[in-house]
Each structure stands twice: as C-alpha cells, then as structure tokens.
C-alpha cells in the first residue's frame, strides 16, 4: 500500500478496505481473533481485568465468544462509558449489561459498577490500522489515546484488527499512543518500535 501522508486520507482508504471485506471472511476472521484473545487470556496465572469493545459494523465481532468465557473464568470484563471526552471503565458480566451508546458502540448500562483505570490489566484497543511496530490509526476522536496516556493506566495494550489492517506506516503525532501487541486472525504480533 502506498504511504499516505495524512490521517484523514488514510482513514478514508482503510474504511474502504474494511467495507470491501466479504461478510463470510469477516465472520471467520472474527472467530479466529476470539480464539487468539482467549488463548492470550488463558496464559494468565490469576484472575485479571480486561477491557473489551464492539458494536461498529466493520470491527471484528468477537464479543459473543469472548465475554462469556472471561466471566466464566472468574476474571473481570470491562467496557467503557463515554463521558465527555473520556472513557470510563465499568464492569460487565454479560451482553445484557450493554446498550448502544451515542456513537453506536457497546457501552455499559448505568447499573454496572465503575472501575478505576488502574484496575485494568489488559486493554483491547480498536483501530482502523496498525503497524507491526505498534503505531495505531484511530477513528479521530482521541478517546483511546487519552485513556492510554492516563497516569494510572498500566495495562497491556493489545490492538485488535484484521490482517488487512496491518500496514507499513502511519503518520504519528506526539499524543499518539502505541500498543504492545496486536491480535489478528492469523495470530499475535509482538509490537516493537523498530518492528
């Protein structure tokens, strides 16, 4: 893919690539991504807190497979409530605890208990594109960049994407936050600044 020097052009290009993906390929890839997420969670020695996301049409739909397994394993699942310009984690136990938010993403219902950012062990991070070195192209709102830059955020950051979202370069600004790893349908990518 040719280098795109500005984020709006790259976002438009990546949205087009995602829209062109066949629905059967999307479902198959999402199932493989769910398996890789659960395998990564199985490697943990104790219960942990993992933040999930979902709801947008072109994102991998891994929730129905992942959420019940995490809760059954006595670990904690969190989703983010959008409050102003911030993401606030809340504990979720099932899909019944979720509702569509203002941006059409899944958000926790009001009865879900709040969690401190410091309680998150793993944050699954959405994006339109990632590099193997951990750079991320978000949708432009800066919500995850602000969350990941929070002084209490110590979580492992794992980008979730289809293989076609892994690209060679992304324009980077000082506020952009990297991910530590990326999970796609073909497995786990350990991101490094030189990768």
Q: List, for residues 3-21, the tens digit of each pLDDT value.
A: 556 899 999 999 999 999 9
Do the domain assignments include residue 2? no
Do the domain assignments include residue 108? yes
Whether the Cβ atoms of residue 131 and residue 167 lie closer than 8 Å to each other: yes
Do the domain assignments include residue 1? no
Average pLDDT, the chain: 91
How far apart (Å, rounded) are the C-alpha atoms in residues 81 and 111?
A: 12
Q: What is the pLDDT of residue 6?
A: 86
Do the domain assignments include residue 115? yes
Rounded (5°) CA angle 96-74-33: 70
Could you read off the pLDDT of 78-133 as tens digits, one per residue?
999 999 999 999 999 999 999 998 788 999 999 999 999 999 999 999 999 999 99
Do the domain assignments include residue 93? yes
The token duo for 6 is 């500005």
**CATH number of 125's domain:** 3.40.50.10420
The token duo for 160 is 């979730």
Q: What is the pLDDT of residue 98?
A: 96
pLDDT band at 194 (very low <50, low <70, confident <90, very high): low
Number of domains the chain is built from: 1
**Domain span holding position 22:** 7-190
Do the domain assignments include residue 195? no
């Amino acid at each position: 893919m040719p280098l795109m020097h500005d984020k709006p052009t790259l976002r438009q290009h990546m949205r087009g690539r995602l829209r062109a993906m066949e629905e059967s390929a999307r479902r198959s890839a999402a199932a493989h991504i769910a398996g890789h997420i659960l395998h990564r969670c199985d490697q943990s020695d104790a219960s942990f807190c993992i933040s999930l996301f979902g709801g947008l049409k072109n994102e991998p739909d891994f929730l129905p497979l992942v959420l019940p397994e995490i809760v059954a394993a006595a670990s904690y699942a969190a989703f983010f409530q959008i409050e102003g310009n911030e993401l606030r984690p809340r504990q979720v136990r099932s899909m019944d605890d979720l509702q569509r938010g203002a941006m059409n993403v899944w958000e926790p219902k009001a009865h879900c208990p709040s969690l401190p950012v410091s309680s998150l062990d793993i944050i699954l991070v959405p994006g339109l594109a990632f590099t193997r070195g951990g750079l991320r192209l978000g949708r432009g709102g800066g919500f995850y960049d602000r969350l990941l830059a929070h002084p209490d955020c110590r979580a492992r950051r794992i980008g979730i994407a289809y293989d076609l979202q892994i690209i060679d370069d992304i324009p980077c600004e000082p506020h952009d936050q990297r991910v530590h790893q990326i999970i796609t349908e073909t497995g786990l990518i350990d991101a490094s600044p030189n990768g």
